[in-house]
Structure 1
Amino acid sequence: MKKPVNWQDGVWSNQPQSVMEHGGSLVVEAVEGSDYWQKTMYQFQHDNGHALLADWEDSSAVEVSFASGSLTALYDQAGIMLWHSPTEWIKAGIELNDGVPHVGAVVTDEYSDWSLSPVPEWTGENITIRASRLEDAVILRARTDIHPWRTIRVARFPYKTAVQAGPFLCAPTRAGLTVEFTRWVTTLPDTDVHEEPPRD
């Protein structure tokens, strides 16, 4: 059973350049230079990305869907943000790297790490990112409207209180990135990492 989350239920971590509801979707333009990253390798700390966050109970999974065709420049990115604090968060989704869309995640606990995998066959498709907590971890999965679920990562995420989740986008290298988010729902959580969740 999937329960829609109203766009109005979320609060922006940082205000985007523009936000507009259109036909049930949320169309968001990112600010140039927006990103989330903590220290690792580059030493910089970026916390000016755009995440629309609402409280997330650990008894449910959360899914975010978006159109990926507008991700065309280096490091353009969109997906789902899981938030506990400015130094404890996870973002997962699609990021453009060397001209190819990659599915991956940045897991941050004081320091960020980045895992990714190329998905050129997903170019321009509508993407769904799913997060479901299990014990002290979160299971991250992704699919498109025509490609099946793919497990991105199992990451430590032990926080039981003060957890938020929702859509995010960042445009580290350019102005003008606009992403259409088409869906934001909560649903039944995963019970096992090896069992594929339902699509509907």
Structure 2
Amino acid sequence: MPMMKMDWEAGRWLNSPLSARKEETFLKVVPEKGRDFWKKTFYGFEYEDGAALLADWANDLAVEVSFQLSSFTELYDQAGILLYHGPGQWIKTGVEMNDGIPQLSAVVTDGYSDWSLAAVPEWAGEEVTLRASIMKDAVVIRARTRHHAWRTIRVARFPYPTGNQAGPFACSPTRDGFEVTFTRWAFTNPDQDLHTDPTEE
């Protein structure tokens, strides 16, 4: 199928941000300080109140979200894709500021969360595209920029055949004033192989 670019108005907010406004073809989102997605592990707290704009996600499609990194400056500034099956069963993946540099991040949650990071300081200031594609009982998560090729971030269990949603998310757990510029949200053909890059459309 050809890439199906989503209109921002076609999504439904799981949790609304402080503000969201269209600017030409982009969506600028300001998340509310202190909201996030996390369940229990290590920290003990539970959050499922971060801003996420979702649409139904069929398992035979990949979902992609693109956004600009130029505003990511403070600890835990973050944005990307939320893959949502239901309360306590979701994955958030994207770029998160940690230790002063952008990091590719994935939080995989089924009652409890785990967290993985991979530093990408060379991506600072670029436009990033995140991609998630279901294969068998798992989701393959990849990321790239215009100047850096696809990189596989995570292969994680996601065994839900129906009832899934996906779309852009943004969180700012520790500060006010963080704004994310989302440039694209689309559904497209799924990955064909773990070791083959997706076909550009």
* Class of the TM-score when normalised by the shorter of the 2 chains: over 0.9
Q: Hey, what does 1:155 align to over in structure 2?
A: 156
> Separation in 2 of the partners of 1:157 and 1:191?
17
Deviations along 1:96-145, whole A, 9 cap, x unmatched?
00111000200000000001100000001000000000010000000011
Structure 2: 5+ residue runs without aligned partners? none
> Separation in 2 of the partners of 1:34 and 1:128?
23
Residue pairs, 1:57-76, within 5 angstroms: 57-76=58-77
- RMSD between aligned residues: 0.7
> Separation in 2 of the partners of 1:14 and 1:197?
31
Structure 1 residue 199, shift from structure 2 partner: 2.9
Query: Structure 2: which amino acid aligns with 1:124?
Result: G
Structure 1 residue 5, shift from structure 2 partner: 1.1
Q: Hey, what does 1:101 align to over in structure 2?
A: 102
Q: Hey, what does 1:123 align to over in structure 2?
A: 124
Residue pairs, 1:2-17, within 5 angstroms: 2-17=3-18
Structure 1 residue 166, shift from structure 2 partner: 0.1
Q: Hey, what does 1:25 align to over in structure 2?
A: 26
Q: Hey, what does 2:114 align to over in structure 1?
A: 113
> Separation in 2 of the partners of 1:189 and 1:66?
20
Runs (4 or more) in structure 1 with deviation over 6 Å come to: none
Query: Structure 2: which amino acid aligns with 1:54?
Result: A
> Separation in 1 of the partners of 2:137 and 2:11?
25
SS of the aligned residue for 2:185 comes to strand
> Separation in 1 of the partners of 2:120 and 2:68?
15
Query: Structure 2: which amino acid aligns with 1:78?
Result: A
- Are 2:83 and 1:82 aligned? yes
Residue pairs, 1:124-139, within 5 angstroms: 124-139=125-140
Deviations along 1:160-200, whole A, 9 cap, x unmatched?
11100000000000011100100001110011101100233
Structure 1 residue 86, shift from structure 2 partner: 1.4
Structure 1: 5+ residue runs without aligned partners? none
- Are 2:171 and 1:191 aligned? no
Identity among equivalent positions (%) equals: 56
Q: Hey, what does 1:55 align to over in structure 2?
A: 56
Query: Structure 2: which amino acid aligns with 1:135?
Result: K
Number of residue-to-residue matches in the alignment: 200
Query: Structure 1: which amino acid aligns with 2:84?
Result: W
> Separation in 1 of the partners of 2:42 and 2:82?
22
